[in-house]
Amino acid sequence: MKKLEQIYEGKAKKVFATDDPSLVIVDYKDDATALNGKKKGTIAGKGSINNRMTNHLMKMLEKNGVPTHFVEEISDRETLVKKVDIVPLEVIVRNVAAGSLSKRLGIPEGTPMRKPVIEYCFKCDELDDPMVNEYHIAAMGWANDDQMKKIAEYALKVNSLLIAYFKNVNVELIDFKLEFGITTDGTLVLADEISPDTCRFWDATTHEKLDKDRFRRDMGGVEEAYEEISSRLLGN
């Protein structure tokens, strides 16, 4: 597979064309942003950790019936994936109150919820990714009803699978963000990444944060947290 020209650069990843029009190569960066790009920095080793952790989890999900964009890991930082049109939604699943939900609803961080909550945000940097509901999504045509049914079903299935998987390494899955895309043959698949950038992971015993909140909140120990969650999951 030939790596051709760069076709996109996001905050944490670059995407390159390949000689197959249905496939692209994702290249993970160490760059970190928060507050929708207003806070910038670098987390040494993040690109490699996020790439390898995402691939490990995508393979596990695929085996358990969730279709994903994953094709093949090419190097520490690069992965071959199916080319998709991204559905312009951030799909957030929450098990325990934290972050923006705690702020919005005045519920202390760490409060368990009776059942998982799914939230949708419209992917738009200029508007700070505003929260929307199924009616907005259908009205704007961002996804059709059939796609939304599948997105909710996959999101809850990913949640159950990830909760169980992280429990094995004494990690509590607080919440996370998913993105979905449509492949060139029209299939809805899980895309983007599943990493400490996009999930909240707390040590199940000490409740220590093992994710990007350490960067967002200037808590220190950022690289160490990424290393810790990576070694628990990937064993290195």
Nearest to 178 by CA among 197, 198, 208: 198
Nearest approach in angstroms of CB 18 to ligand TMP is 26
Q: For ligand TMP, give the closer residue by CB, 23 or 95.
A: 95
Nearest approach in angstroms of CB 98 to ligand TMP is 6
Q: For ligand TMP, give the closer residue by CB, 60 or 107.
A: 107
Q: For ligand TMP, give the closer residue by CB, 80 or 174.
A: 174
Q: For ligand TMP, give the closer residue by CB, 83 or 200.
A: 200
Nearest approach in angstroms of CB 116 to ligand TMP is 13
The CB-nearest residue to ligand TMP is 99
DSSP class per residue in 166-192: HHTTTEEEEEEEEEEEEETTS-EEEES
Nearest approach in angstroms of CB 200 to ligand TMP is 4
| Contact criterion met (CB below 8 Å) for 162 and 93 | no
Burial class (CB within 10 angstroms; exposed 0-12, middle 13-18, buried 19+) of 202 = buried
Distance of CA 99 to the CA centre of its chain: 16
Nearest approach in angstroms of CB 215 to ligand TMP is 11
* The 3-state secondary structure of 43-100, one letter per residue: CCCHHHHHHHHHHHHHHHHHHCCCCECEEEECCCCEEEEECEEECCEEEEEEEECCHH
**End-to-end alpha-carbon separation of the chain, Å?**
28
Q: Which residues are at the interface with ligand TMP (CB under 6 A)?
A: 90, 92, 98-101, 129, 175-177, 198-200
Q: For ligand TMP, give the closer residue by CB, 17 or 169.
A: 169
Q: For ligand TMP, give the closer residue by CB, 89 or 98.
A: 98
Distance of CA 194 to the CA centre of its chain: 4
In DSSP terms, 72 is beta-bridged to 80
